[in-house]
Amino acid sequence: MRAIAAALFVAPLLLLTSAPAGAAPSETTSVRLLAITDLQGTLEAPVGESSNVTEPNGRRVEAGGVAYLAAYLEQLRHNAPKSLLYSVGDNWGASGVASSLFHDEPTVDVLGHLDLAASGVGNHELDAGAAEFARLRGGGCHPDTGCRYSDTFGGATFPLVASNTTTADGTPVAMPFSVDYVDGIPVGVISALPADTPAALPPGVRDEFRFADELDAIDATARTLDYLGVSAIVLLLHESDDAGSPAPPCDERQGPGHRLAAAASPLIDVVFTGDNAARYDCTVTDPDGNPRVVMNPHSRGQGIAVADLVLDHATGDVVRERTTSFNQTVAHDITPDAEVAAIVDRANEKAADQAARRVGVLAAPMSRRTGPTGESALGNLVADAQLSAARVAGAQLALTNPGGVRADLDGDAEGVVTFADAHAVQPFENDLVVVTLTGEQLKEALEQQIQDRDGQAIERILAPSQGFSYTFEAAARPGDRVSGLALDGEAIALDRDYRVALNRFLADGGDGFRALGSGRDRVQVGTDLAAFVDYLRVNSPVPVPSTERISAPT
């Protein structure tokens, strides 16, 4: 008991109240749980089509921006003074330029001002490796660039939680849980990442971390909390359902996140999920047959999940049948929080010289929205840019993953694109490489655009560069989905070698594209962001590329 208690991270006692003198103590107390997810360093509202979210009534609403998020949190807290705010993770990584240029210190600053009770660790928190994660958590100047955002950097002022993640030597990257108190009742929170998280990490840091089975870790941690006398337990589950937007009805959800939310220990009372694009508010049945809420808010600061709980003073547990929940859109119908807005303004001011640099002009706005074949105009533009930059190393075609294209590209009223706009599209600054693949390996990689994950078919259509075409039939059996591969009108020969441009994430087999990881004769040709910026500069006004490179069977 002493060893377990010594390892316990207990946050400062919050919201402690007592009954007035002479009053009978209440048998229950209420607490409002608030949750955000996948902020991803998005300090200002997303732009383009991503600036709007769809309400349940079908209405499109402009949403997002951390100053608006802070204002809505204040309003929700005002209506329920006893509250706890959590993040499901991916607070930074793939960040906007005003956060990214300063190694996400502005985002950590904002999260501290939001008064997080705890945050789960998402995969993007680990993108820059264990040492940088430890710096952002604990403070200190960046080893290469120093303290450019502020004179000193104190790190996160909130606990980060991860129950199943260690460094390569077995050291936990964070505590497995955190505990806060509401009217003397402890409320514990657990967080977990998928065991297959390495596939989502940049290749240079994959070997720095180890991920245990998430369900085993969740259940073990819940038992530990129960042993320590914590009966009210919340799970932050950074596990995607790949649900798309809008999310399917609750009774049709079958993704791994939803299944884990149902399978996790019956000791857990509420589940907040992350790594999803769309919001949902559902109820699942736990292993003991009892209902529990599982929720996912809109990402990137555009939504807040709200669960109002009733705690029983006698048992310390949640009275589940009295739980109510809803998702709140962070609309622009409220006065933004001045203190958080000042943080954003300071970051923007420090980034202004580089962010505002003009890099090109668009003939028309370009969207990430995919059509029937899975192509998007912007994805194909990125592939074209990578092919152009990689021809110096003999590249004949390029492929890029949709998850690497992070924002729409609109430009201003005249179509002018700034560095900040381009950076929002390609924020990871992955190495751009050229590898040799046989026609057979290329076909195999395209077959891997549909993958099985825990019984669910996950579709990730790679954006092809101009001149490369093929037919794709998703409903066909594995191995027969891809046909008619051609390059510049000539059929791809399965036994012939081809030089293919890829970002390093794909070239190392990321996103499950194992065939791409078998490439030979690798040559690096800069970064994907540099290729994109150069292409916009040289080809302005940039036309909208064709989205007919992939064909459906006739």
Length of the chain: 554
The mean pLDDT value of the chain amounts to 92
The structure tokens listed for 15 are: 């919201």
The structure tokens listed for 420 are: 């900040």
Which position has the higher pLDDT, 59 or 15?
A: 59
pLDDT tens digits, 263-320: 999 999 999 999 876 789 999 999 999 999 999 999 999 999 999 999 999 999 999 9
- Is 489 within 8 Å of 412 (Cβ atoms)? no
pLDDT given for residue 307 in this prediction: 99
Q: Does the pLDDT of residue 14 top 70, yes or no? A: no
Q: Does the pLDDT of residue 18 top 50, yes or no? A: no
* Helices 66-78 and 338-355, packing angle to 10 deg: 170
Q: CB-based burial of residue 353 (10 Å sphere; 0-12 exposed, 13-18 middle, 19+ buried)?
A: exposed
Instruction: Check residue 363 and report its DSSP letter.
Output: S
With residue 345 as reference, give the H or E element that holds it. Answer: helix 338-355
Give Cβ neighbours of residue 534 (< 8 Å, ≥ 6 apart). 385, 388, 389
Q: CB-based burial of residue 87 (10 Å sphere; 0-12 exposed, 13-18 middle, 19+ buried)?
A: buried
Phi, psi of 429 (to 5 degrees): 50, 50
pLDDT given for residue 298 in this prediction: 94
Q: Does the pLDDT of residue 447 top 60, yes or no? A: yes
Task: Round to whole Å and give the CA distance between 398 and 503.
Answer: 9
Task: Round to whole Å and give the CA distance between 268 and 92.
Answer: 27
pLDDT tens digits, 166-179: 999 999 999 999 99
Mean pLDDT value of segment 451-468: 88
- To the nearest 10°, report the CA torsion of 42, 46, 52, 55: 0
Task: Round to whole Å and give the CA distance between 472 and 446.
Answer: 9
Residue 260 β-bridge partners: none
pLDDT tens digits, 115-155: 999 999 999 999 999 999 999 999 999 999 999 999 999 99
pLDDT given for residue 17 in this prediction: 34
CA atoms within 13 Å, Cβ hemisphere of 206: 16
Query: Could you tell me what percent of the chain has a pLDDT over 70?
Result: 94
Alpha-helix runs per DSSP H in 114-176: 130-138
Q: Does the pLDDT of residue 19 top 50, yes or no? A: no
482 closest CA partner among 548, 401, 551, 417: 551
Task: Round to whole Å and give the CA distance between 390 and 432.
Answer: 8
Q: How confident is the model at residue 458 (pLDDT cuts 50, 70, 90)?
A: confident
Q: How confident is the model at residue 251 (pLDDT cuts 50, 70, 90)?
A: confident
* pTM score: 0.88
Q: Does the pLDDT of residue 11 top 90, yes or no? A: no
Q: Does the pLDDT of residue 500 top 70, yes or no? A: yes
pLDDT given for residue 25 in this prediction: 58
pLDDT given for residue 440 in this prediction: 98
pLDDT given for residue 26 in this prediction: 73
pLDDT tens digits, 530-549: 999 999 999 999 999 999 99
Q: Please state the separation of Cα 89 from the chain's center in Å.
A: 7
pLDDT given for residue 453 in this prediction: 74
pLDDT given for residue 2 in this prediction: 28
204 closest CA partner among 97, 100, 126, 93: 126
| Residue appearing with tokens 């599209």 | 425
Q: CB-based burial of residue 47 (10 Å sphere; 0-12 exposed, 13-18 middle, 19+ buried)?
A: middle
Q: How confident is the model at residue 244 (pLDDT cuts 50, 70, 90)?
A: low
pLDDT tens digits, 436-446: 999 999 999 99
- Which residue segments constitute the domains of the chain, with CATH numbers given? 32-341 (3.60.21.10), 356-551 (3.90.780.10)
pLDDT tens digits, 308-340: 999 999 999 999 999 999 999 999 999 999 999
Pick the range with the lowest mean pLDDT from 4-8, 211-215, 497-501.
4-8
Q: Does the pLDDT of residue 76 top 70, yes or no? A: yes
Query: Could you tell me what percent of the chain has a pLDDT over 90?
Result: 84
| Residue appearing with tokens 């080893």 | 143
Q: What are the distances in angstroms from CA 170 to CA 125, 212, 213?
A: 18, 11, 14
pLDDT given for residue 57 in this prediction: 86
pLDDT given for residue 124 in this prediction: 96
- Is 392 within 8 Å of 525 (Cβ atoms)? yes
The structure tokens listed for 521 are: 């004769």
- To the nearest 10°, report the CA torsion of 119, 124, 128, 132: 0
Q: Does the pLDDT of residue 88 top 80, yes or no? A: yes
* 3-state SS track over 71-117: HHHHHHHHCCCCEEEEECCCCCCCCCHHHHCCCCHHHHHHHHHCCCC
